[in-house]
């Protein structure tokens, strides 16, 4: 009886430990190559990325799926620099501790914007931080 009790405890413990594990978010390796025009930045949502035009700061929310809800919607189609100031690698996104927010940095002049993605259009925003 004692062996059965110990075996049951071990089995239940291992099932409990396995049931609590969750898949890790993808690890994003960003190359140091500043010559690229577009970059995809992972969010903490497994299905959502932010596509950044590194020349001018334009951004899109990209959502992938195995179903029909694949989409790419604009976060900001406003260029943050003039055509003459565009340069590959100028803009870069940094994640925050909030799942929906990133900081967009102009690596040349130091300006910063708060970027918020959302599944709801009214909640998406890009605002300057002064």
Distance of alpha carbon 128 from alpha carbon 114, whole angstroms: 6
**What is the rounded end-to-end Cα distance, in angstroms, of the chain?**
70
Tell me how far apart the alpha carbons of residues 60 and 39 are, in angstroms, rounded to a whole number.
11
pLDDT score, position 118: 95
Q: From the first residue on, what is the mean pLDDT of each consecutive set of 10 residues in the chain (130 residues)? A: 70 60 55 83 94 97 87 95 97 95 97 96 95
Predicted pLDDT at 11 = 67
Residue 68: per-residue pLDDT: 80
**Residue with tokens 């409990």, as numbered in its chain:** 16
The strands making up 125-129's β-sheet, listed across from edge to edge, are: 91-95, 101-106, 112-116, 125-129
- Asked whether the beta carbons of 125 and 117 are under 8 A apart, the reply is no
Query: pTM, whole model, 2 decimals?
Result: 0.75
């Amino acid at each position: 009886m004692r062996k059965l009790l110990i075996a049951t405890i071990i089995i239940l413990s291992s099932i409990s430990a396995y049931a609590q594990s969750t898949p890790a978010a993808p690890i994003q390796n960003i190359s140091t190559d500043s010559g690229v025009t577009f970059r995809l930045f992972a969010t903490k949502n497994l299905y959502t990325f932010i596509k950044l035009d590194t020349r001018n700061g334009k951004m899109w929310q990209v959502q992938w799926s195995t179903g029909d809800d694949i989409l790419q919607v604009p976060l900001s189609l406003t260029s943050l620099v003039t055509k003459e100031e565009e340069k590959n690698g100028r803009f870069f996104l940094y994640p925050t501790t909030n799942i929906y927010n990133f900081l967009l940095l102009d690596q040349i002049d130091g300006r910063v914007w708060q970027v918020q993605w959302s599944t709801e259009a009214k909640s998406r925003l890009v605002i300057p931080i002064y």
